Amino acid sequence: MIKLIRGDVNAGFPSPADDFMEDDLHIEDYLVKNQSSTFCVRVYGDSMQGVGIFEGDILVVDASITPRHDDVVIAILNTEHTVKRLFRKGKRVGLKPENPNYQIRWIDIDNDDFRIGGVVTFSLRHHKWPS
């Protein structure tokens, strides 16, 4: 359990009038809606930097959510696992990176072994360990 300070955190100058109270935050309850279908994966690579997903981040993924166009998903394509944005154009389906150094990968529904492993719901990033 982690302590949650009530109120918003001002990214500018704090107001001395802010009255903070502590509450308990059960981080798993915050991150996980469907425990039996939720898992985490660590990110390798830089193809999703445009949406703030960086190498080393931990992604929280819910396999019970029906993926829709524009969702960030964990896809399994011919035994390769990847995180990309699900992209639909007409009847075509693609996996779109969020980095201009990479191109969209169009799925050949007839020949590719393709499925969605889950929808990314959160990303966790390490900012600094205490000294």
Domain ranges of the chain: 33-124
What pLDDT sits at residue 85?
A: 98
Q: What is the CATH number of domain 33-124?
A: 2.10.109.10
What is the tens place of the pLDDT at every residue in 69-117?
999 999 999 989 999 999 999 888 999 999 999 999 999 988 889 999 9
User: Is 47 labeled as catalytic in the residue annotation?
Assistant: yes
Catalytically annotated residue among 33, 37, 84, 128: 84
Pairing of strands 22-25, 92-96: unpaired
User: Is 36 labeled as catalytic in the residue annotation?
Assistant: no
**Mean pLDDT score of the chain:** 87
Instruction: Decide: 41 and 61 in contact? Cβ < 8 Å.
Output: yes
Catalytically annotated residue among 3, 37, 47, 91: 47
Mean per-residue pLDDT, 121-130: 87
Q: What is the pTM of this model?
A: 0.81
